[in-house]
């Protein structure tokens, strides 16, 4: 009887311990209900980030500036950059199967987060973020057009993005990496000139990460 009582007590401890670990605050529950998101998915995200869930800010469609006084139908949770990428890699398929896009996002200077919006088209992530290469005359529409082209040719998902950067992962690498690397350099010179240094190293980087990280300084 004593042994049975101990086992029952341990079971209750584990049950309530797990519930507490995954519990959402009242404010978070209200946010999830307001945007009508699947609660279990957000619990899993918070469990990995160990950080509060917050509502995404709106972004000015003309300037690309974050509007801290206006909100968007999405949620985010702040986390260290390297951990953010790992979380997106871990959850991307599950979230997409349920109609959500999950990605690394800049929420402010020197801050990274894992963000979630509804959708099945990764280009909607870029449309939300208003990512551009304005220093090279590239608008958000230009970025979306090029990534859409690559998506059609190679298949890809957006791992993360910000005002002037983005990272994508390919379903299949371009067969002609020489030509593709030159195309990338033409589209985003900073990836070589302020990054890897040469087209040859860029080719190896693309193969190594099965994708590409772009930014326009």
Instruction: Give pLDDT, residue 107.
Output: 75
pLDDT digits (tens, 9 = 90+) for 96-153: 999 999 999 987 666 789 999 999 999 999 999 999 999 999 999 999 999 999 999 9
Q: How far apart are CA 177 and CA 183, in angstroms?
A: 9
| Domain boundaries defined on the chain | 25-120, 129-217
What is the pLDDT averaged over residues 63-84? 92
CA–CA dist 137, 135 (Å, integer): 6
pLDDT tops 80 at residue 2:
no
Question: pLDDT > 70: what percent of the chain?
Answer: 88
Which pTM does this prediction carry? 0.86
d(CA 145, CA 153): 13
Tokens 């986390």 belong to residue? 79
pLDDT tens sequence across 26-62? 999 999 999 999 999 999 999 999 999 999 999 998 8
Sheet containing 66-78: give its strands across: 54-59, 66-78, 111-118, 100-108, 156-161, 165-170, 211-215
Which pLDDT belongs to residue 7?
42
């Amino acid at each position: 009887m004593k042994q049975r009582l101990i086992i029952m007590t341990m079971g209750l401890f584990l049950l309530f311990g797990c519930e507490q670990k995954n519990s959402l605050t009242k404010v978070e529950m209200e946010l999830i209900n307001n945007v009508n998101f699947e609660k279990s998915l957000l619990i899993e995200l918070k469990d990995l980030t160990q950080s509060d869930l917050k509502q995404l800010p709106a972004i000015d469609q003309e300037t690309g500036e974050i509007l801290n006084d206006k909100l968007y139908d999405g949620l985010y949770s702040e986390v260290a950059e390297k951990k953010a990428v790992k979380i997106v890699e871990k959850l991307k398929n599950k979230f997409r199967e349920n109609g959500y896009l999950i990605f690394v996002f800049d929420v402010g200077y020197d801050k990274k987060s894992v963000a979630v919006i509804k959708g099945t088209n990764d280009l909607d992530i870029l449309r939300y973020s208003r990512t551009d290469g304005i220093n090279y005359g590239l608008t958000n529409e230009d970025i979306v057009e090029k990534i859409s082209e690559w998506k059609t040719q190679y298949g890809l998902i957006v791992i993360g993005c910000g005002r002037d950067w983005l990272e994508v992962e390919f379903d299949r690498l371009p067969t002609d990496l020489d030509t593709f690397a030159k195309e990338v350099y033409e589209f985003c010179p900073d990836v070589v000139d302020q990054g890897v240094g040469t087209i040859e190293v860029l080719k190896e980087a693309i193969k190594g990460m099965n994708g590409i990280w772009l930014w326009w300084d």
